Amino acid sequence: MDLKRVVVTGLGALTPLGKTVAEYWQNLEAGMSGCDFIQQFDVSKFKTRFACEVKDFDPTQYLDRKEARKIDRYCQFALVASDEAVKDAGISKENVNPDRVGVIFASGIGGLITFQEEVINFASGDGTPRFNPFFIPKMILDIAAGQISMRHGFRGPNYAVVSACASSTNAIIDAFDNIRLGKADVIITGGSEAVISAAGVGGFNAMKALSERNDDPKTASRPFDKDRDGFVMGEGAGALVLESLDHALARGAKIYCEIAGGGATADAHHITAPHPEGLGAKNVMEAALADARMSVQDIDYINVHGTSTPLGDIAETKAILHVFGEHAYKLNISSTKSMTGHCLGAAGALEALACIMAVTKDVVPPTINHFTDDPELDPKLNFTFNKAQHRTVNAALSNTFGFGGHNASVIVKKYKA
């Protein structure tokens, strides 16, 4: 069976660094930190009092007020980002068959804010089960995909993907597979997350996953730095329009890049900790390269998972050295989580978007907040510390790993006719 080539024709983003793709990329390239003290709720009693929030977000600037009240913040983010991507791709009822346009959209946790509010309201009452009639449809993970399809009338494959922090990379791979197998012409894919709440911050604090650098939140996310002390929570959404090459050419669409391949593996090791030697990470990068029919020498840039956790950063580095060998020293490596924080189920989409822009612009965004070298990391690796670097980026690989041992990697490359 001949597999179709798959290209990216539209992008959308709502992030701690900006509310459009242009703003997001500009601030990534500039090395801006999106972290500050949390504004959404009272954090005075919490161990961690900062995060990378989408600042000054008013859903009624994008959505009808009545509509906005019926959907959780994570779904609001998804609709805003996907609207930008659909518009960017120039998709209309005149140039697509809606039965052949799908939505595969991810979230790691879904409507946690809605869940928290409803449970608190119930617990503070007299025990009478009074719940908002939109409680369940606001909370569930699949509703973002459903809402996007209803908003645009897309009737192709439609579902959610959840694999913790690997969710939206898995969604991109599923979209890629559906299109190259001929099951759809166009798929809107990506991920969204909004869990900066008492339950979210408190829960991650309880498992000692978050940085507690309250004296200096701007520099709290410091991947690969000796003094890293945990990840910084982020929120936002990233959306991509994937399309078969023949369909894109037929309607005269602009093409950002080509999706080359993807892989997915499991650590089968621990509920939260990575395999200490990066076994699952090694396997998933090898799987993505094999799927793309590319060699290690074809990759110029890796946007690493790089969460700023003591164990994770070391394990991923070991995996890169194992897979890429001597070529690892010719790569640029960076963690954009140093700027956006860890956006959980949206991380893969936002980081794939960073890879797409790197391939398009030939610029590698930096890993900011580096102050002290970690003696456990190979000093010859180029982590693109503190400043973006201009270089030819023909192909980039994006890694995302999730609690439960889920690993996903996707490769994008320059489009060539």
pLDDT classification of 1: cutoffs 50, 70, 90: confident
Same domain, residue pair 113 and 197? yes
In a domain, 2, yes or no: no
Number of residues that this document lists for the chain: 417
Range of the domain at 392: 261-413
Question: Does residue 67 share a domain with residue 141?
Answer: yes
pLDDT digits (tens, 9 = 90+) for 176-208: 999 999 999 999 999 999 999 999 999 999 999
* Rounded average pLDDT over 122-148: 95
User: Can you tell me the distance from the alpha carbon of 355 to that of 406, in angstroms, rounded to the nearest whole number?
Assistant: 21
**Helix runs in 140-194, H state only:** 143-152, 167-180
pLDDT exceeds 90 at position 40:
yes
The predicted model gives 34-49 an average pLDDT of 97
User: Is there a single domain that holds both residue 242 and residue 271?
Assistant: no
Residue 183 forms part of a structural domain: yes
What percent of the chain shows pLDDT beyond 90?
98
In a domain, 52, yes or no: yes
State the average pLDDT over residues 251-268: 97
What's the DSSP call for residue 269? S
The confidence score (pLDDT) of residue 234 equals 98
Query: How many domains, the chain?
Result: 2
For the cut 90, the answer to whether the pLDDT of residue 174 exceeds it is yes
Domain boundary among 250, 277, 312: 250
Query: Which whole number is the average pLDDT over 148-168?
Result: 98
> Span 243-265, mean pLDDT?
98
Mean pLDDT of 341-346: 98
Query: Rounded distance, CA 184 to CA 182, Å?
Result: 6
According to the model, what pLDDT value does residue 304 have? 98
Active-site residue set? 165, 305, 342
The predicted-structure confidence for 309-321, as pLDDT tens digits, reads as follows 999 999 999 999 9
Same domain, yes or no: 265 and 162:
no
Shared domain check, 266 and 244: no
**Structural domain contains residue 256:** no
Among residues 250, 273, 290, the one where a domain terminates is 250
For residues 245 and 270, membership in a common domain is answered with: no
Task: Please report which confidence band the pLDDT of residue 78 belongs to, taking 50, 70 and 90 as the band edges.
Answer: very high
Do 179 and 315 sit in the same domain of this protein? Answer: no
Question: Would 19 be classed as within a structural domain?
Answer: yes
User: Which pTM value belongs to this model?
Assistant: 0.97
Q: Do 289 and 336 reside in the same domain of the chain?
A: yes
Residue 156 covered by a domain = yes
Q: Are residues 67 and 175 in the same domain?
A: yes
Which token pair is 375? 């003696």
* pLDDT the model gives residue 150: 97
> Does the residue 76 lie in any domain?
yes
CA separation for the pair 175, 242 (Å, rounded): 7
Which residues touch 45 (CB under 8 Å, ≥6 apart)? none
What CATH number did the domain enclosing 161 receive? Answer: 3.40.47.10
